[in-house]
Structure 1
Amino acid sequence: MNEKESALHSEATEKQGSNTRYSFNLHGSSSNVKSKLQQDREYFINTFTRFTLQNFIQNKLVERSVIPYNGNFSKCHRASIGSIISLVRNAETSRAYYNNVVTCANAMCCPVCSARIMGKRSTEIKKAVHQWLNEDLLNTCYMLTLTFAHGLQDRLADLLVAFKLALEAFWRNGSLKRLLATCGRVGRITATEIQYSQTNGYHPHQHILLFCRKTDFDLAALRGYWLRALETVGLSGLSDIALDLIEARSAENYLTKISSEMALGNLKQGRGSGHYSPMQLLAEAADGSGWATDRYIEFFRAVKGMHSLCWSRGLKAYFGIGNISDQEITDGAAQPELTKFLDMISDAFKFLSASEKALLRNYAAFDDFEHAAALLDRVGAEYWK
């Protein structure tokens, strides 16, 4: 076993030890459902965290000349579109957002935009899953996980290029296509995730939700297809780790992975153990870690133009889900269920600190106009309900 495969085996062992496998019932609910009070409290705290981290990384990326000071990412939730900024809220979920502000719509890197985007995307996936399961008793979903061996010395940009080529080779495999055709597959949703380990470096992997009929898959054959695809691009993996396939009796765990509540929820979890999600890495950087700042900037550069979530062609249309862009979500055009909380003159918005923007949005989320008005009065902003 070479060094990279040993690292992959080590990571898989740690994940198995933390019980990360999917074990939910498709038509049931998780025993770990949080109370409304817990969810609201986490939302309140996470909003502050998102805006604080966004402010930090915007300043750092401009300082390092990674992005221009007048680009969309650096202006996200700092600049307005027009003279009026609106605070809108979802009364059912007690969540709020700013409209008529510049947004980067970067679901991979932006702490603020990613939450809004993934919240909407998780709703779309839930609709597709429930519709598919209710169409026929033999319909089910499988969670396919693909990864490969990697090491501390590997550059993320190089890994992502090779990973993409391996994935293309895998899905082009004629035997795999025939196998998927026989299982009644109607499509797949792919979530790309990237983690970082101080021991083993960057760890790109994909979770693919397959919509198909209940099937006895030949797991050994599937693993062989993936290992051969890896070999064609100079990558490698361990057979029982590089590919995993389980029936996702509930997509709940998968949905949680990409939902807005988990984008920055449990932010401290994993820090100190040497394993970091991108947002955990960013939090470490904001705490003053130089190595974490360097690694996050490498991540930012490497994932430029990538989408964290992709549906196969025609799958959204199959479930009657509109093809809405991330930008439409962050601009508010894709959320007609939101209602106006207040309007404010945009000139005052740019003088609000990151914490004040977070606090104001939280007041809107919980429909607390009295405290929102007091905050705006304190900074001399003109507003109206």
Structure 2
Amino acid sequence: MLSVIRSIYPSHRTASCMWSRVSQDTQIQVVRDVLTLKARYSGLRVCGSIWTCPVCAAKISERRAAELAQAITQARNLDIEVALLTVTVPHVRGESLADLLAALRKAWRSFTSGGTSGRLRRAIGLVGTIRNTEVTYGENGWHPHFHCLMFFRGKLVDLEEIQRAWGEHWQKCAVSAGLREPSTEHGLTIQPGDYAARYVSKWGLEHEMTKSMAKKSRVGGRTPFDIADDFADGKDVEKNAALWREYATAFKGQRQLYWSAGLKKLLVVEDKTDEEVLAEEEERPAELVVQLTWPEWTAIRLRHRATLLMLAEESPHLIRGWLNDRVEASYKSIPPPPEPTESASPLVLAAVEPPGQVEILPADSVSSPQRELFPLPADPPADPPADPPADPLASRLARWKARRELLYRRALGIHP
């Protein structure tokens, strides 16, 4: 999936996640957690995006699920009730996702502030909320909506009346924010008790950012990762790429969960950022399985990362031979040079930084004295020799083999 996202949005920070080293001096390692025995990579950059990265989203969502479960348990210990509130608005195809989100957040601010909101909150003894944003794309375009866990000390004695009063308030706030008027039936719903606790799993381990990796379809629209899957399958490639980029741009900088002020302290939940959650993953005790050279990493990072982790967990003794095979395969995949022409300049191999990268340039285009040049063998003189001329195909093949060998040695850091 990361490779798909890299193809859709190569300039996005997620494109470098689990792809590039933290720095030139950082060693890339495969380590195995001493508690879970799960293998992971160390020394690679992580993007920390809950919205666009399936790797980071899985790790962060798992932590957030634990926090929500802890909050609900602690609330019940304090005789605080929990209910799930959902708000949505009508939408049509062609509306900008960024504009819809901005208007939805504006409506929510009005909904949770002011005199009417205060009266409604006091009526049920509301002590705090946790809000989550979700979005799908369907026949009518983007459909962003909010889910909110409400923690309150009162009782939802007349749920139908409470939902009617809160629904009318939401309708007024949505229209005031420039949105279409929500329906009375679906604009605002409240689900009490155990339903809210069960819904926690959707925000955590089964959050749509993680669940979408299994590509489970949903009634009423596609999740953003469904869109990426359709792009990978070659369906409406340009449209799906544009939708994904619009989504990634609209959600940039947004948090997954918004806790109301003081609620974490009341429910004894530690406040940690997404970056801190990912850093904890790196700090967990682990044993070294294998340390990768840069040529080894470049040989496996595109298609074989998952295979290496599987070997690290199940058959670590096979890793070294498997890596050697992958590097040899990538070395053999270097394409042969184009057919030479009479006007072509002699080729030279120029060593450039960073180490492990090389470029083949025409000799007359290389002028920097700071580059280390390795000239290839020159062509035989134009005058015909006394003996019969050598086979030109064999001559070209010999020069190509010499160049390939030099390129491989240079990639491994072996100077001639």
- What's the TM-score, normalizing by structure 1? 0.74
Which of 172, 175, 183 in structure 2 is aligned with 1:238?
Answer: 183
Structure 1 position 314, deviation (Å): 2.3
- State the alpha-carbon separation in 2 of the partners of residues 163 and 147 from structure 1: 9
**2:28/2:292 contact within 8 Å kept:** yes
- What is the alpha-carbon distance in structure 1 between the residues aligned to residue 282 and residue 67 of structure 2? 12
Determine the structure 1 residue equivalent to 2:233: 287
1:204 matched to 2:144? The reply is yes
Q: 1:242-281 residue pairs with structure 2 within 5 A?
A: 242-262=187-207, 263-265=209-211, 267-270=214-217, 275-281=221-227
How many Å separate the matches in 1 of 2:322 and 2:192?
Answer: 50
Q: Contact 1:324–1:334 at 8 Å: present in 2 too?
A: no
* Identity %, equivalent residues: 26
Task: Give the greater-gyration-radius structure (CA).
Answer: 2
Question: SS in structure 2 opposite 1:284?
Answer: helix
Which residue does 2:395 correspond to in 1? none
Question: Is the 8 Å Cα contact of residues 32 and 289 (structure 2) preserved in structure 1?
Answer: no
User: Which of 100, 110, 127 is the matching residue for 2:53?
Assistant: 110
Change (3 A) 1:261 1:148: closer
Distance 1:241 1:84, change over 3 A: same
Match of 1:223? 167
Q: After superposition, what is the alpha-carbon deviation per residue over 1:163-218, rounded to whole angstroms, capped at 9, x for unaligned?
A: 11111111113222233235333322111000000x11100001111122352251
The aligned residue for residue 72 of structure 1 is 13
Local SS of the residue matching 1:215: coil
The one of 111, 123, 126 equivalent to 1:170 is 111
CA separation of 1:325 and 1:151: change in aligned 2, threshold 3 A: same
Q: Does 1:125 align with 2:71?
A: no
CA distance in 2, matches of 1:80, 1:123: 30
Give the superposition deviation at 1:122: 0.9
Give 1:377 deviation, angstroms. 5.1
* Inter-partner Cα distance in structure 2 for 1:153 and 1:255: 32
Residue type of the alignment partner of 2:249: R
* Structure 1 residues 97-139: Cα deviation after superposition (integer angstroms, max 9, x where no partner): 4333111111011122111111111111111111222333xx2
Q: Given the superposition, is the C-alpha separation of residues 213 and 87 from structure 1 closer, same or farther in structure 2, using an over 3 Å criterion?
A: farther
CA distance in 2, matches of 1:130, 1:336: 28
- Residue 116 of structure 2: SS of its match in structure 1? helix
Within 5 Å, which residues of 2 pair with 1:306-385? 306-330=254-278, 332-333=279-280, 337=284, 339-340=286-287, 342-345=289-292, 347=294, 348-364=296-312, 366=313, 368-370=315-317, 375-376=322-323, 378-379=325-326
Conserved 8 A contact 1:78-1:350: no
Report the Cα offset of residue 325 of structure 1.
Answer: 1.4
Evaluate the alpha carbon distance shift between residue 358 and residue 171 of structure 1 in structure 2; reply closer, same or farther with a 3 A threshold.
same
Deviation of 1:222 after TM superposition, in Å, equals 0.2
DSSP 3-state at the match of 2:166: helix
1:227 Cα deviation (Å)? 0.3
Stretches of structure 2 that go unaligned for 5 or more consecutive residues are: 329-411
**Structure 1 residues 130, 323: CA separation in 2 closer, same or farther (over 3 Å shift)?**
same
Assess, with a 3 A threshold, how the Cα gap between structure 1 residues 374 and 251 changes in structure 2: closer, same or farther: farther
Separation in 2, partners of 1:250, 1:73: 34
The Cα of 1:230 is off from its aligned counterpart by 0.5
| Cα distance, 1:316 vs structure 2 | 2.1
Q: Deviations over 1:152-171 (max 9, x none)?
A: 12111111111111111111
Paired AA for residue 345 in structure 1: L
* Contact 1:193–1:308 (8 Å) recurs in 2: no
Question: In structure 2, how many angstroms separate the alpha carbons of the residues matched to 1:140 and 1:301?
Answer: 37
- The one-letter code sitting in structure 1 at the alignment partner of 2:299 is F
What letter matches 2:292 in structure 1? I
**Partner secondary structure for residue 194 of structure 2:** coil
Q: CA deviation at 1:281?
A: 1.0
Other structure's SS at 2:186 match: helix
Give 2:383's aligned residue: none
State whether residues 19 and 301 of structure 2, in contact with CA within 8 Å, keep that contact through their aligned partners in structure 1: no
* Per-residue deviation, 1:308: 2.2
Give the deviation of 1:379 after TM superposition: 3.8
Partner Cα separation in structure 2 for residue 359 and residue 87 of structure 1: 12
CA 1:300 to 1:215, structure 2 compared with 1: closer, same or farther past 3 Å? same
Asked which structure has the greater RCO (Cα within 8 Å, sep 6+), the reply is 1
Distance 1:92 1:140, change over 3 A: farther
SS in 2 for 1:176: helix
- Cα distance in structure 2, aligned partners of 1:373 and 1:328: 33
CA contact (8 A) 2:3 2:302 kept: yes
Determine the C-alpha separation between the residues in 2 that align with 1:227 and 1:282: 33
